[in-house]
Structure 1
Amino acid sequence: MKTKKTLLIFLGVLMTGSIVQAQGLVDGYYNQKGHLAVTTSYTRVGAYDEFYVGKEKTGPVPVHNEISQDIFGVYAKYGLLDDLTLVLNVPYIATKGYGNPDPVNGETKQSDFQDVCLTAKYRPFRADFSSGRIDGITALGFAIPSGYEPNGILSIGNGAFSTDLHIGGHLQLNGGFFSTLIAGYSFRGKASDNLGTNGGADFDVPNAFLAVGKLGYAASKFYVELWMDYQASSSDGVDIMGTGFANNFPETRVDYTRLGISGYVPITKGIGLSAGYGTLLDGRNIGNSGYFSTGVTFSFDTASSSVN
């Protein structure tokens, strides 16, 4: 039972940059009905001086030389039913360039709330066997941009409303070891051309295939996981400095493969601490960055509170 309680309060808020809604929002664990967990987190993306222009890694970063990010997040999971968990993520991102002003929007820094992400995760089946269980994973999510400027090297997001579909499975062994594999597709809308770069016409943000794999160990005293996060944008996007590129950054293809490790330790019955590190293995039209994240999780059983 202790292991089960630990799993319920683990949230894994370890996200980065313009892909905040990717790794971490959909995992293999479901909150019990009435169980609420809220995590506040801080992520530091260290100043990086290399950037993938298309598929070619170059340095320093065009125009800005170096870029750093500070990300503050609130992430919550609530068990509406034992098999249905609701997820909310609200990140605030501050990005800074250390060179010349952005050639598109004239800024050397940008900060704002990014995309408010709402996700419903449903367990379609659970299969128990002698040494563990397998849980099915399906999820429907929406990302709603806050109104930040989407065009520019320092932009904190693509500025488009998106609908994300996920499907996967989670294997949990009685000894504590687990593995999770989730695949998804992100249908992305249009981003506003506030600066007139595209002649006033909205930008077409490329859709993307998403995948996350995790291997880890969950015990009553700690949780640790090794994860890999992957995104491949649709081919109708453009490459920076490639054919069809005219400072239309929201229309660029953003691909990446990231690898990271994260952990969680309960401090009291309702409070726990998380930390993690992630780095980029390969990418396309993205900064070559690594990051460190910390978080504090508060856990509540609203069903018990209402009874009392």
Structure 2
Amino acid sequence: MIKKSLLSVIAFTIVTASVTAQSPVNGFMQGKGKGNVVVSYGMEKYDKVFLVPAEVDGVPVFNEVEISSASLFATYGITDQLDVVASVPYITAKGNASEAVLTNLNFENTRNGIQDVSVFLKLSPDAFKCNIGSSSLSFIGAVGVKTPVGDYKADEGLQSIIAIGNRGTTISTIAIAMFKTKMGIFTTGQFGGVMGAKTVPDAYISEIKLGYAASKIYVDAFLANQTSTTGVDILGNGFTGFFPVTKVNYTKAGLNIYVPIIQSVGIAAGASSIIDGRNIGKATGFYGGLVYKF
């Protein structure tokens, strides 16, 4: 069976490496004094958009959008029951508008910069863990904040279709349940809420995951969802061209794989696709990451 410390590294790498981010936290704890650092690169692309009332071909103004992300992540076990997780990405968004459109609207096809820093605390008290035969069931609670650190803009009207973020601060609370078998098969389920400051809509988030973890390989499949509880639709009633206030719903499916190279280093890769949504691009993304554990 895979060692707990390695499994924690794998799970952290898989969660944080994708440009089309999964949940910011997972069902594994690092352990006191242990942690890892991850450098990753990901890319996603879309030329269709889920608007209301239907999916449309072509991204308004920009025709298609490609988003790449170079990210730095770190996690550390403060105690055996408490972890801290932090991440910050550098994002580049590129559109494909014609030169005539760019000139007429005074737009640009590229926006890039450092986006938002996020910091989460995860707590898993011993009282929230139990054994069921040779398997185990554990529960984790997490709270985190994400806030802009770059000087990017999100208030440029239709130019902000390719903005790299919504320039808003959010606070998230997440509950996680995880079941692991002795053979290495595991499943996790989580549910949480995201509270947006000022103009950013509130939302519910959820994720289910089924995976297998062994000493030489880790694989998982996941299905994630976000449902906004406030906000307006793009080009709908109440929309004034300020994109941060739009509600963003999505259902995303994906696969991840991790292979250790040596004791302290491993590589991860994966893909995900948004299969349904509201006010979001129908994107497919891929990523790769390099992790160092200590």
In the superposition, the TM-score normalised over structure 1's length comes to: 0.87
Determine which of 234, 241, 261 is the counterpart of 2:235: 241
Q: Which amino acid is 1:111 matched to? A: N
The answer to whether the 8 Å contact 2:18/2:286 transfers is no
- 1:208 is aligned to 2:203: yes
Paired residue for 2:6?
6
How many Å apart are 1:135 and its aligned residue? Answer: 1.0
What are the equivalent positions in structure 2 for 1:1-308 lying under 5 Å apart? Answer: 2-10=2-10, 11-12=13-14, 13-16=16-19, 20=21, 23-46=22-45, 48-99=46-97, 100-101=101-102, 106-124=107-125, 125-146=128-149, 147-151=151-155, 152-190=160-198, 204-234=199-229, 236-300=230-294
Q: Which amino acid is 1:171 matched to? A: F
Q: Which amino acid is 1:265 matched to? A: V
Moved over 4 A (4+): 102-105
How many residues matched? 281
Paired residue for 1:194?
none
Deviations 1:182-231 (A, max 9, x none): 101001112xxxxxxxxxxxxx2111101111100011111111011110
How many Å apart are 1:24 and its aligned residue? Answer: 4.1
How many Å apart are 1:102 and its aligned residue? Answer: 10
The answer to whether the 8 Å contact 1:144/1:162 transfers is yes
Q: Which runs of 5+ in 2 are unaligned?
A: none
SS of 1:267's partner is strand
Q: Which runs of 5+ in 1 are unaligned?
A: 191-203, 301-308
Cα distance in 1 between the residues matched to 2:103 and 2:234: 14
Cα distance in 2 between the residues matched to 1:102 and 1:169: 52
SS of 2:74's partner is strand
CA 1:285–1:226: 2 relative to 1, 3 Å: same
CA 1:80–1:103: 2 relative to 1, 3 Å: farther
Cα distance in 1 between the residues matched to 2:17 and 2:55: 24
**Counting helix residues as a fraction of each chain, which structure ranks higher?**
2
CA 1:276–1:102: 2 relative to 1, 3 Å: farther
SS of 2:281's partner is coil
Q: Which amino acid is 2:201 matched to? A: P
CA 1:28–1:102: 2 relative to 1, 3 Å: farther
CA 1:102–1:205: 2 relative to 1, 3 Å: farther
Cα distance in 2 between the residues matched to 1:225 and 1:38: 21
Deviations 1:246-268 (A, max 9, x none): 10111101000000000111100
How many Å apart are 1:105 and its aligned residue? Answer: 8.0
Cα distance in 1 between the residues matched to 2:232 and 2:131: 46
How many Å apart are 1:56 and its aligned residue? Answer: 1.6
Q: Which amino acid is 1:237 matched to? A: G
Identity of aligned residues (%): 35
Q: Which amino acid is 1:178 matched to? A: F
Cα distance in 1 between the residues matched to 2:228 and 2:75: 28
Q: CA RMSD in A?
A: 1.7
CA 1:112–1:228: 2 relative to 1, 3 Å: same
